[in-house]
Structure formats: structure tokens, C-alpha cells
Amino acid sequence: MKYPALIFDFDGTIADTLSEAADIYNILAKEHGYKQVQAQEIPALRHCSVKKLTKELGVSKLRLPFLLNKGRKLLKKRIHKLSPIEGMIETMQELRKNANNFGILTSNSTENVELFLDNNGIRDLFTFISSTSKLGGKSKHINSISRTFSINKRDMLYIGDEIRDIKASQKAGIAIAAASWGFNSKESLEIARPTYLIEKPSELLKIAL
């Protein structure tokens, strides 16, 4: 196996959370006086980095952790509504047969991820679930995972759907497969120069095996 250590993002990569995330954001925006997002605006916003997105919406950097925490709590009540990305479960099951390490690194809460995995009968696929409350903290966690499990970084592949996932993987020195079906658009991901750019989960089989 080319990448025996596979690490997945959760929101937008494994779970289809885009519409729920937009709904939750609008609830918080109404409550705290931020600009709400209309459905027709979402395609354009998918081109934005987190920094540009927060600027567009008028959300200050200092308030972001507070809003993210509230958003995670609201999402917990909606976990039962979430569906896996089409073809992702089958792809992960096939990849797991040969992977030594199989984990999740997410900005969502571990509790939310566990609930989703249990609801879909796939918790046993994963050897670890790691969560970071900071949107820009994934590179440190990737380094920590490498040290904790004694994984050579050449053996690691991160699978994520955002520009920040690409930047975190590049900073940590591991390969990244950018999933164009999630939050950020294919065009914006391509500009960030990921190791791989994929349009459907099954493409991971050719990359990792």
C-alpha cells in the first residue's frame, strides 16, 4: 500500500454537512447580528478561504472560536440527519483492509464524529479520532499523530475538502488528497496545489493502494 496511514477530515469529506452547516450558521448569524447566507450565494462562497469567508460575512477572528463551539453543539442535535458522502463508506471499507493506521482529524467535536460513525455502523473502521478546536491547528495535530503512532510522514495521506486542509498537510510535510465534493470548490483547491485532486471517493483506491 502506497499510503498505509490514512487520515480523513470529517465535515464535507466523510459526512455531507454543507447544507446543515449553512443552516446552523444562519441561526447563529441571526442571533449575533452577522450577515446571513442565501442558498444562491453558496457556490461563490465555496471559492473562499476561511480568512476570506469570515471577512465576507463580517465575522471577527476573535469571535470565531465562540461561534464554532456553539455550532458544534447545534450540529449534535442534527447528526441523525446527516448522510455520508456517496461512495465514501464503501471506499473506506476497501482502504481499511490494507491500512495500518486509519483515523480522523477534524475541527468538529469527537462526540459529534462518534455519533455519526455509530449511526452509520462504521466506528470500527477507525483506529483513532483526533479533534482540534482551532481552524488552523491541523498541522500540529498531524505532527502529533506521526509521533504518537510512530508513522513515517512518507506513509501518511490526509484526505480533506478545504484549502486549509491542503495548507496544513503541506506545512506538516505529508501528502494531501483534496476532495472537490466538499466545502471548497475544485478550482480553489487546485490553486492551492494539493498532491492529488479527486472528484469522487473511489479515486482514493488508485492513489492509496
Nearest residue to 127 (alpha-carbon basis) of 151, 152, 153: 151
Q: What is d(CA 49, CA 162) in angstroms, rounded to the nearest whole number?
A: 8
Q: Going by C-beta distance under 8 Å and a sequence separation of 6 or more, which residues neighbour residue 13?
A: 85, 88, 159, 160, 161, 179, 182
pLDDT in tens, the chain (209 residues): 999 999 999 999 999 999 999 999 999 999 999 999 999 999 999 999 999 999 999 998 889 889 999 999 999 999 999 999 999 999 999 999 999 999 999 999 999 999 999 999 999 999 999 999 777 789 999 999 999 999 999 999 999 999 999 999 999 999 999 999 999 999 999 999 999 999 999 999 999 99
What is the structure's pLDDT at 175? Answer: 98
DSSP letters spanning 8-55: E--BTTTEE-HHHHHHHHHHHHHHHTPPP--GGGHHHHTT--HHHHHH
Note whether 9 and 100 are same-domain residues: yes
What is the structure's pLDDT at 74? Answer: 97
- Helical segments of the chain, H only: 18-32, 42-45, 50-57, 64-76, 88-96, 110-119, 138-148, 163-172, 186-191, 203-208
What is the structure's pLDDT at 133? Answer: 79
Note whether 105 and 182 are same-domain residues: yes
Note whether 123 and 65 are same-domain residues: no
Residue 109's domain spans which residues? 5-15+85-208
Look up the pTM and report it: 0.96
Beta strands at 175-179 and 156-160: parallel, antiparallel or unpaired: parallel
Note whether 52 and 140 are same-domain residues: no
Q: What is d(CA 85, CA 66) in angstroms, rounded to the nearest whole number?
A: 28
Tell me which of 80, 100, 116 is where a domain ends: 80
72-54-117 Cα angle (round to 5)? 25
Tell me which of 80, 101, 129 is where a domain ends: 80
The CATH number linked to 138 is 3.40.50.1000
CA dist list (Å): 47 to 43, 56, 85, 117: 7, 12, 20, 29
Nearest residue to 161 (alpha-carbon basis) of 200, 122, 123, 131: 200
- For residue 85, the 8-state DSSP code is P
The answer to whether 184 and 13 have CB atoms below 8 angstroms apart is no
**Number of folded domains in the chain?**
2
Place of cell 449553512: 22
Note whether 141 and 44 are same-domain residues: no
Note whether 34 and 125 are same-domain residues: no
What is the structure's pLDDT at 131? Answer: 95
What is the structure's pLDDT at 75? Answer: 97
What is the structure's pLDDT at 121? Answer: 98
Note whether 112 and 40 are same-domain residues: no
